[in-house]
C-alpha cells in the first residue's frame, strides 16, 4: 500500500561534488538547501544578501555584483538607529551609511568572485508579488517594516521574470559560459498575501521557471514545491505555523535533491560528515566518564583527519567547548 503519490525527477547533470563551486540564492528555502550542502562540506556561498523572495531582486543583486555597479544610495534607510537597504534583506545591516556601503561592496565582490567560477547556481523563487518604491518604481527586496503608503504592490508576469533573467544570463555567460542553473519554487507558503494570492503567485513563478528551462540548455528545474504539495500533502509535514515545511519535510526534500543532483561518489563522505554532526550534538549523561572522554578523543581525531581537505573550524570550536565543559 502506498501512502503518498511519488513521481520521478529527471536526473541532473553534471552532478555536484566536493570540487564544485555553488551559489545558492533566493527565499528561505534556498538557505535551507544551502545549509545542508555546507554541513556536508560542499563549497557554497549561501544567500550573501540575505533572504530574497522575488525573482527581480535576485537577478538584480547578481547582475549588479557582476557588473560592479554603484550601490543605489537612494535605497538606503534608517530603522531603529540601524542602516538597511531596500534591495536586500535586513540581515545586511550596519550602524552607519558608510559601514553599510562597505558591507554591501564586500558582499558584491564575494558574489562576483563565486559567479565567475560557479559550476552550479541554485535559485529559489519565493513570491511573484512585488513592492515598488520611489519615483522610479524600484522593486524592493524587503520593505523593512516601513509604512505601506511608500510602496505600490503588484504581481509580476512570467514574461517580466524571464526578461530580467535573460539579461542576467547574457552578462554571466560572457564571464562564465559553463555554469549550470537549478531553479526551484519555494514550498514555503506566503500566506500574508492571502491563500488564493499565494497560489496565483506560485503559478506565475512555475510558468516563469519553465519558460527559462525551455529556452536555455543550462537551466534545470527541481520540483521542491511539487514534492511538498503532492508527495507530502499533509499538514503534519509543516511546522506549527502551517507555512514552513517541518524538519522532516526538509530532510525528505533534501534526500530527493541529493539523489537527483549529488554525485553518488560523494555519498560515503556525506555519511561521514553527517555522523560528525550527530556526534557533536550528542549530550553525555556524564561528561567526565571515561567512555565520554574516549568518545570525544575519537571524534577529535576524525575531525582532524578530514580538516586536511575540508573546513571543520566550526566543528572544532564546538568540540573544544564540549571538552572544556568536562569537570565543571
Q: What is the pLDDT of residues 207-222, one digit of tens each?
A: 999 999 999 999 999 9
Q: Give the per-residue pLDDT at 202.
A: 96
- For the cut 60, the answer to whether the pLDDT of residue 328 exceeds it is no
Q: Considering the entire predicted model, what is its pTM?
A: 0.92
Q: Do the Cβ atoms of 51 and 89 come closer than 8 Å?
A: yes
Of 242, 56, 18, nearest to 159 by C-alpha is 56
Average pLDDT in the 20-37 region?
Answer: 94
Q: Give the per-residue pLDDT at 203.
A: 97
Distances (CA, A) of 12 to 258, 262, 264: 10, 8, 12
Average pLDDT in the 242-248 region?
Answer: 91
How far is Cα 144 from Cα 78, in angstroms, rounded to an integer?
10
Q: Which three cell numbers stand for residue 192?
A: 500574508
Q: Give the per-residue pLDDT at 326.
A: 58
Average pLDDT in the 239-256 region?
Answer: 93
Distances (CA, A) of 155 to 18, 28, 130, 268: 39, 20, 6, 45
Q: Give the per-residue pLDDT at 325.
A: 64
- For the cut 90, the answer to whether the pLDDT of residue 154 exceeds it is yes
Q: Which three cell numbers stand for residue 167?
A: 539579461
Q: Do the Cβ atoms of 200 and 155 come closer than 8 Å?
A: yes
How far is Cα 162 from Cα 220, in angstroms, rounded to an integer?
14
Q: Give the per-residue pLDDT at 123.
A: 97
| Mean residue pLDDT across the chain | 93
Q: Give the per-residue pLDDT at 234.
A: 87
Q: Give the per-residue pLDDT at 5.
A: 77
Burial of 246 (0-12, 13-18, 19+ CB in 10 A): middle
How far is Cα 186 from Cα 224, in angstroms, rounded to an integer?
7
Average pLDDT in the 155-163 region?
Answer: 98
Using pLDDT thresholds of 50, 70 and 90, give the confidence band for residue 147: very high
Q: Which three cell numbers stand for residue 78?
A: 534608517
Average pLDDT in the 28-53 region?
Answer: 95
Q: Do the Cβ atoms of 50 and 320 come closer than 8 Å?
A: no
pLDDT in tens, 89-122: 999 999 999 999 999 999 999 999 999 999 999 9
Using pLDDT thresholds of 50, 70 and 90, give the confidence band for residue 319: confident
Task: State percent of the chain over pLDDT 70.
Answer: 98
Q: Do the Cβ atoms of 18 and 266 come closer than 8 Å?
A: yes
H or E element, residue 185? strand 180-185
- For the cut 90, the answer to whether the pLDDT of residue 28 exceeds it is no
pLDDT in tens, 278-294: 999 888 888 888 888 88
- For the cut 80, the answer to whether the pLDDT of residue 1 exceeds it is no
How far is Cα 262 from Cα 280, in angstroms, rounded to an integer?
24
pLDDT in tens, 63-92: 999 999 999 999 999 999 999 999 999 999
How far is Cα 120 from Cα 22, in angstroms, rounded to an integer?
5
Q: Which three cell numbers stand for residue 68?
A: 560592479
pLDDT in tens, 260-271: 999 999 999 999
Amino acid at each position: 500500500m502506498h501512502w503518498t503519490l511519488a513521481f520521478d525527477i529527471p536526473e541532473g547533470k553534471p552532478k555536484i561534488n566536493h570540487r564544485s563551486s555553488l551559489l545558492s540564492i533566493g527565499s528561505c528555502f534556498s538557505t535551507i538547501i544551502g545549509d545542508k550542502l555546507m554541513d556536508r562540506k560542499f563549497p557554497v556561498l549561501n544567500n550573501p544578501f540575505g533572504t530574497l523572495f522575488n525573482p527581480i531582486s535576485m537577478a538584480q543583486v547578481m547582475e549588479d555584483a557582476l557588473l560592479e555597479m554603484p550601490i543605489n544610495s537612494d535605497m538606503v534607510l534608517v530603522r531603529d538607529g540601524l542602516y538597511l537597504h531596500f534591495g536586500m534583506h535586513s540581515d545586511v545591516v550596519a550602524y552607519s551609511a558608510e559601514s553599510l556601503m562597505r558591507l554591501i561592496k564586500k558582499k558584491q565582490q564575494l558574489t562576483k568572485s563565486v559567479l565567475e567560477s560557479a559550476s552550479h547556481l541554485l535559485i529559489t523563487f519565493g513570491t511573484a508579488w512585488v513592492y515598488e518604491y520611489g519615483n522610479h518604481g524600484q522593486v524592493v527586496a524587503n520593505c523593512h517594516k516601513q509604512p505601506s503608503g511608500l510602496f505600490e504592490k503588484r504581481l509580476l508576469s512570467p514574461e517580466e521574470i524571464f526578461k530580467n533573467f535573460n539579461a542576467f544570463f547574457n552578462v554571466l555567460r560572457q564571464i562564465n559560459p559553463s555554469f549550470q542553473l537549478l531553479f526551484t519554487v519555494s514550498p514555503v507558503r506566503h500566506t500574508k498575501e492571502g491563500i488564493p494570492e499565494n497560489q496565483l503567485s506560485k503559478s506565475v513563478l512555475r510558468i516563469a521557471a519553465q519558460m527559462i528551462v525551455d529556452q536555455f540548455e543550462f537551466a534545470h528545474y527541481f520540483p521542491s514545491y511539487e514534492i511538498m504539495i503532492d508527495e507530502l500533502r499533509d499538514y503534519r509535514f509543516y511546522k506549527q505555523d502551517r507555512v514552513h515545511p517541518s524538519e522532516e519535510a526538509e530532510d525528505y526534500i533534501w534526500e530527493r535533491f541529493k539523489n537527483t543532483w549529488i554525485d553518488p561518489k560523494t555519498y560515503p563522505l556525506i555519511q561521514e560528515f553527517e555522523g560528525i554532526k550527530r556526534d557533536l550534538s550528542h549530550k553525555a549523561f556524564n561528561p567526565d566518564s571515561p567512555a565520554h572522554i574516549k568518545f570525544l578523543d575519537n571524534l577529535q581525531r576524525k575531525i582532524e583527519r578530514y580538516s586536511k581537505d575540508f573546513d571543520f573550524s566550526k566543528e572544532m570550536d564546538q568540540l573544544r567547548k564540549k571538552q572544556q565543559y568536562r569537570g565543571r
